[in-house]
A and B are shown apart, each in its own frame.
Chain A
Amino acid sequence: MSNESMIEVSNLTKRYAGHTAVSNISFTVGRGEIVGLLGTNGAGKSTTMRILSCYMPATSGTVRVAGFDVFTQADEVRRRIGYMPENNPLHPEMRVREYLKFRARLKGLSGKHCRERVDKVIEQCALTDVSRKIIAHLSKGYRQRVGLADALVHEPELIILDEPTIGLDPNQIRSVRQLIKDLAKNHTVLISTHILPEVEMTCSRVLILHEGKILAADTPDNLQKLMSNSSQVIAEIAAPRAELEQLWEQMPEIEYSDISPAEGDFHRCALTPRNGTDVRPQIFAMVQQRGWIMRELTRSRFSLEDIYVRVTRPNGEEEG
């Protein structure tokens, strides 16, 4: 089978009684990629991942992981993937090392190799300090790392993580993300999330799923370029409001302006330039010329969040 693609999904459909969770999606993931599945709750992310991890079958379509069919060659596939389900279920009564050892044995590791791998993932996921603790007593961040360690313990080629940072505090999120990034050096990673910065920061490619369909699939940068035609410039200037309004109206590059008062004498102006031109140098020159004081001048790039909201918004609700 082809060596370059790790996951090949073609025309995958999954119907539950009454509704269609995933409808006729196709995508491929190459070896060594980090791909983010992005979507609202109920968009079909978990369903797709469950099918990929051989937990349940597809209604129709084929899914191959590392060249093996997930339905007919489930054992081969399972050996090659490390899967961390949503909410990261663990056995709370077990100790960290004991749990990882148990999981490693289930995955077919034994003896010395098993011990070595458990030691390795404990180190890799920074669990050394808590390796003797009972899982129920760990913080959520640590528990999440135990889940990751479990997914890694048998050196899978593909790692599937369903919402790996859900419910963590910002510091924990950062450390889990860093960990995922480090993994990408040796593994193919598929993560799902509805937190956009996560995808922006970690993934090399994004698939946006909505109501069981793939709406967009590209690199985060490319998706942003698509949107950059309508970026905004924010300027905070100390000047009378009327003069500001007049100024923006005189500038032909500015299509639309919105002025709101900020603290002190300052006004916050949100400016939408025509055709995506960068108007910052002109604004700076104008302000300097008039002797006003400016304390902020930024161009806000559309984040994936905006792209996502656009893409998933029901038709006919477009706004500027």
Chain B
Amino acid sequence: MRAYLTLIRRELAGFFVSLTGYIIIAAAVFLMGLSFVMLLTKLQGDPTPLPITQLFYSTDCFWLILILAAPVITMRLFALERHTGTFETLMTTPISDLQVVLAKFSAALIFYMLMWLPLLGCIFILSRYTNNPGIMDTGLLGSTFLGIFLLGGVFMSLGCFASALSRSQIIAAMLSLSFGFTLFVLSFLASQLPVNNGWQTEVLSHFALIDQMNDFARGVVDTRSVVFYVSTTVLFLFLTLRVVESRRWN
């Protein structure tokens, strides 16, 4: 456990001693600011019954941030260490492969959540300047951040897997970008298909990340999507673990 925490700390420090961490956060804040401006323009028109988080989500910057940030956050996790050789010193300490995978994943997820914190700031500012007290509904914020967290888990585990596959950070980033984008396109497809179109729609509907995240932003926590996200995360972490272990296969 101590080794696990030590590794998380090191991974997190890794983001902040280089420029990467700051650049990712700056880019994310820029996109959040953009969606904030778009939101304000929208709010100047007719009054809307939609909750503020859902309005935020509907500006689509959310997906841009998620799809672009995930590869950049995760690409270095394994690829860099394998490239520089520190992976060898790491794997010859008495620490298990599972601990390494979990620590790297957790660090990425923590950093990812830190990246989303400025969103709270945007919402706070909005609540200061409107006379609607319901805007800072904790339940709503909670479910939105739960959605962000769970979806983040999926994308971070995808990124871990991609990073473990390659020694090159560029290839790792490309891989996880294409994995993430495929997932996004699948969910886009799901939202475009007409309802009740046979089993295809049925299957695709489970990949409908866009609609599911919309639910979270609306304050609806659907167990089906929670289970789906958690199990996808576990699946990719398991695959990552297998890749890490594979050097020991004969």
* Residues of A that sit less than 8 Å from B by CB: 50, 53-57, 59, 75, 78-79, 81, 83-87, 89-94, 102-103, 105-108, 110, 150
* A-chain residues with CB within 8 Å of residue B7 when the two chains form the complex: 106
Give the total of B residues in contact with A, Cβ under 8 Å.
24
Q: Contact check: which of B2, B18, B88, B95 meets A110 at CB < 8 Å? A: B2
* A-chain residues with CB within 8 Å of residue B14 when the two chains form the complex: 91, 93
With contacts A56-B247, A75-B94, A78-B94 known, is A89 near B2, CB below 8 A? no
Do B92 and A55 touch across chains, with their CB atoms under 8 A apart? yes
With contacts A55-B247, A59-B250 known, is A85 near B6, CB below 8 A? no
Do B89 and A89 touch across chains, with their CB atoms under 8 A apart? yes
When A and B form their complex, what is the total count of cross-chain residue pairs whose Cβ atoms lie within 8 Å?
A: 63
Query: Closest chain A residue to B96 by CB distance?
Result: A75
* A-chain residues with CB within 8 Å of residue B17 when the two chains form the complex: 93-94
* A-chain residues with CB within 8 Å of residue B94 when the two chains form the complex: 75, 78-79, 107-108
Q: Interface residues of A: mostly helix, strand, loop or mixed?
A: loop
Do A85 and B2 touch across chains, with their CB atoms under 8 A apart? no
Q: What is the minimal beta-carbon distance from A184 to any residue of chain B, in angstroms?
A: 21
B131 at the interface (CB under 8 A from A): no
Do B95 and A54 touch across chains, with their CB atoms under 8 A apart? no
- Cβ contacts A to B, 25 pairs, < 8 Å: A55-B88, A55-B91, A56-B248, A75-B94, A75-B96, A78-B92, A78-B94, A79-B94, A85-B89, A86-B85, A89-B85, A89-B88, A89-B89, A90-B86, A91-B10, A91-B14, A93-B14, A93-B18, A94-B13, A102-B10, A103-B89, A103-B93, A105-B2, A106-B93, A107-B94
* A-chain residues with CB within 8 Å of residue B85 when the two chains form the complex: 85-87, 89
Q: A75-B94, A75-B96, A106-B6 are in contact. List 14 more A-B contacts (CB 8 A).
A: A53-B92, A54-B92, A55-B88, A55-B92, A56-B247, A59-B250, A85-B85, A85-B92, A86-B85, A87-B85, A94-B13, A105-B6, A108-B3, A108-B94
B84 at the interface (CB under 8 A from A): yes
